[in-house]
Structures are given as C-alpha cells and as structure tokens.
C-alpha cells in the first residue's frame, strides 16, 4: 500500500477538521486531555515485562473488552496490561473497570506518532477491538515484530461496501494482523472476502455476551432502592439515545402516562455532552426531571436524566420495560444484551445494523420487539405494562439467549495463548 498517500489523505482530513477540533477543545475540552499522547508522546513503559496493549475506542468497546481483560489477567497474571482509548469517557470507564497498569490515549495514525508510541510503550502484543484497523500503526508493529490481534472483530453491513471498493489496498493492510477473532460467521466471511488469510480467521462469538452474564434479575430492587424509587413503580428505561430519538421516546412516554400516570422514565443519552440539549427538550415538553447524580438526595421526578458514566447496564435492572437506543435513528443500534441479562423485555427500532445478529436472535426467540415510530413504541410499552406475564416471558427469553451464547472471552484467550 502507498502509505505516504494514505498519510497525506489523513493529514488533509485532520487539517480540514482543525476548526472543529479547536472549537470542541476550547468549548467542551474535547480531545484536549492527553494531547501529547495522541501525538505519540506516551509516558514510557517502566515495567520489566513488556505489556499486553489492549485498545478500545470508547465506552462500548471498553465494556465489551472487560470480560476478556479479566480472563487474561486470571490466566496470565505475569503479563501486565496497558489500555488505550480514544475518548475521554472511554478512558474514565477503563480506569474504573480494567485491571491495567497504565492507561493512555491512542495515537493519531501518522507514522511518526505511532512509531514514537510503540518505542515508548514496547508492547509484546497489541489487541485491537472490533474494526480498529489503522494502516500506519499495523505497519509499525510489523516492523518491530509485534503481533497484532483483532478481538471481537466485526465488519458492519454499512462499512463493508466501502472496504470492498478498496479491497486490493485493504488486503495488504490486513496482512499485518496475526489473528482475527470475529463475532459471527458473517463477519468472518466479510473479512475473508476483503483479503484476510483464511488460516488466521476464527469465529469466537461476541464478547458482549460475556459482559451480560453478571446480570441478576433481583438486582432491580437494589437499584430502585439506590435511586429512592418504590419497588412497584412502573419504569421505562431508554438507554443510549441519540439526537432525533429523544423526541419520539418522550412522545411515547407521555402517551402511555395518560393510561399509567405513575410511569417513570429513566432517560440515558448516549453522549453526555448532549445533556443540556435533552434538558431543553424536556423543558419544552413540560416534563419535570431530575439528574440521576442528584438522587436519592433530591426527590424523584417523572423523568430521571442519567448523567453518570458506566452505570447504564445496572440501571437496566430497575426497568419494567427497556428501549435500547440508536435504533429509531440510523445509528446502527446498541447492546440489547445488558437489559436481557436482567430478564427485562427489550424494545428497539429498525436501525440495528451494528447488532443485526443479536436483533435477529431476539426477534426469533420472542425476546424483543421492533418498533418503528412514536405510536408503535407507545402501544408496545402500554401492552407490556398491562400484561406483566407477557413481559416476563420476553425477559426470560432474552436471559436464555445471553446464557446460551456466552464464552467468547474464554475462546479468545485460548487462541491468544500461542502468541503470548
């Protein structure tokens, strides 16, 4: 591959986006944290044993990698773990959840930045999550004899056609990955078609199934007590919502409250920087709300706006019905396994491309219901609140899916052993 051409294109993109970068850094502090690390100026690894470098972009990838990190630490306590992220929120959650000796921000994929980072950190192996395929980083690892593994690998239906258009170039990049641990047979077929060597590609399942294993349906009582909410209160949890999605969710919530006046909404926007925007929607809709961080000190309101990080998975346990966001708008959906682990009935919209296999499982097994608009969402919520036995059957079906498909972390570490 002509890496200089790729680097030139990357540079043009970064320069073109510089005004946005500067504005976000000034106004929101976004990306300002760890800027030297993003440019390759990492704190040097000081330990005597080279680390296992695990890279997870943001909160979702960090959460998915958590079972693998603990499985690896349990089996190989002699190998220290180093973790990198791209986002601040991902870094914060990683520091809370992962058993790592050092945390850094991942370098921008310029040759000089990634080479500096690798020379300072000296990893024995690099684990990249999902679709984190960076040409200059892979080339620099290859030049240093550092094996790279793609864990929880996936090629989404939306990105696959784009990769196919540059398949000849992409195939050369994929040669830099020693092992592909893919989520599904479809993901494996796509990466093979893009040029991955067949002997390196394995289907191990989705690590997020393992993440959900810790759920206990009885946790709901403890979570409600933590929030200061009555045990019998009907609660709708809307998790990981995006711009354009809160309005239909709030519309459905208000419609259902006409029949179920004590219904409470736990609303968790995917991106915390949008909290003020969502508060504006609530104010214009005439809805009283309270931020989660103020509970239980402040009285509860009809809407509880979740402003805490890394807590959503557990908050699902408090729900009577759960809607998983990123699916009424064309985002690709989010993880339906977390509420299913607590045996909660799960609703989602039509845009589940990033979790297509999970959505299919849930629909086929009666563990989830797909809705398409405000009216459809309201109708299903009301039906499940009025028919608790049906809601319980849905929840148990989801829990069964989680229990049946767990084990990806163990299978991934089994494959990693030969490279460690």
Domains of the chain: 36-212+407-419 (3.40.50.11720), 215-405 (3.40.50.2000)
Percent of the chain with pLDDT over 70: 91
User: What pLDDT does residue 59 have?
Assistant: 84
Q: List, in order, residues 6 or more apart from 400 with CB less than 8 Å away.
A: 365, 367
User: What pLDDT does residue 214 have?
Assistant: 61
Residue 241 phi, psi (nearest 5)? -80, 155
User: What pLDDT does residue 17 have?
Assistant: 44
Q: List, in order, residues 6 or more apart from 215 with CB less than 8 Å away.
A: 313, 317, 338, 340, 341, 342, 343, 399, 402
Known catalytic residues are: 61
Q: pLDDT per residue over 137-195, tens digit each?
A: 999 999 999 999 999 999 988 889 999 998 888 899 999 999 999 999 999 999 999 99
Q: List, in order, residues 6 or more apart from 322 with CB less than 8 Å away.
A: 236, 237, 238, 239, 316, 339, 344, 345, 346, 347
User: What pLDDT does residue 324 have?
Assistant: 98
- Report how far apart, in Å, the C-alpha atoms of 108 and of each of 45, 88, 127 are: 19, 15, 17
Helix axes 374-386, 246-257, angle to 10 degrees: 40
DSSP 160: H
Q: pLDDT per residue over 220-246, tens digit each?
A: 899 999 999 999 999 999 999 999 999
Which of 261, 260, 265 has the alpha carbon at shortest distance from 383? 260
What's the Rg (C-alpha) of the chain?
22
240 contacts 268 by C-beta, under 8 angstroms = yes
User: What pLDDT does residue 358 have?
Assistant: 85
**Tokens 């349906």, residue?**
217
Residues of the chain with pLDDT under 50: 1, 10-12, 15-18, 20-22, 26
351 contacts 291 by C-beta, under 8 angstroms = no
User: What pLDDT does residue 299 have?
Assistant: 85
162 CB burial (10 A radius; 0-12, 13-18, 19+): exposed
């Amino acid at each position: 591959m002509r890496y200089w051409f790729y680097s030139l294109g990357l540079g043009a993109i970064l320069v073109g986006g510089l005004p946005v970068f500067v504005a976000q850094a000034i106004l929101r502090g976004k990306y300002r944290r760890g800027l030297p690390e993003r440019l390759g100026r990492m704190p040097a690894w000081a330990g005597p044993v080279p680390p296992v470098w695990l890279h997870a972009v943001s909160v979702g990838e960090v959460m998915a990698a958590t079972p693998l990190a603990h499985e690896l630490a349990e089996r190989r306590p002699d190998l220290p773990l180093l973790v990198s992220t791209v986002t601040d929120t991902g870094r914060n959650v990683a520091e809370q959840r992962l058993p790592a000796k050092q945390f850094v921000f991942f370098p921008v994929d310029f040759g000089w930045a990634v080479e500096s980072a690798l020379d300072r950190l000296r990893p024995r192996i690099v684990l990249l999550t999902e679709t984190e395929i960076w040409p200059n980083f892979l080339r620099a690892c290859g030049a240093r004899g550092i094996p790279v593994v793609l864990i929880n690998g996936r090629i989404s239906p939306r990105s696959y056609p784009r990769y196919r258009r540059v398949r000849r170039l992409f195939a050369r990049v994929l040669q830099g990955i020693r092992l592909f641990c893919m989520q599904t047979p479809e993901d494996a077929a796509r990466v093979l078609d893009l040029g991955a060597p067949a002997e390196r590609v394995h289907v191990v399942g989705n690590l997020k199934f393992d993440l959900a294993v810790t759920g206990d349906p009885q946790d709901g009582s403890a979570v409600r007590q933590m929030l200061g909410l009555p045990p019998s209160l009907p609660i709708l949890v809307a998790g990981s919502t995006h711009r354009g999605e809160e309005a239909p969710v709030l519309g459905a919530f208000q419609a259902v409250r006409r029949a179920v006046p004590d219904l409470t909404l736990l609303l968790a926007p995917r991106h915390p920087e949008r909290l003020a925007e969502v508060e504006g929607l609530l104010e214009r809709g005439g809805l009283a709300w309270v931020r989660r961080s103020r509970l239980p000190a402040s009285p509860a309101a009809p809407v509880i706006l979740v402003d805490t990080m890394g807590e959503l998975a557990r908050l699902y346990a408090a729900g009577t019905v759960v809607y998983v966001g990123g699916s009424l708008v064309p985002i690709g959906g989010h993880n339906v396994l977390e509420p299913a682990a607590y045996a909660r009935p799960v609703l989602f919209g039509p845009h589940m491309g990033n979790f297509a296999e999970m959505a299919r499982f849930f629909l086929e097994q009666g563990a989830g219901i797909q809705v398409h608009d405000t009216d459809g969402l309201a109708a299903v919520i009301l039906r499940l609140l009025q028919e608790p036995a049906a809601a319980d059957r849905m929840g148990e079906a989801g829990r069964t899916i989680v229990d049946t498909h767990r084990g990806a972390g163990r299978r991934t570490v089994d494959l990693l052993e030969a490279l460690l």
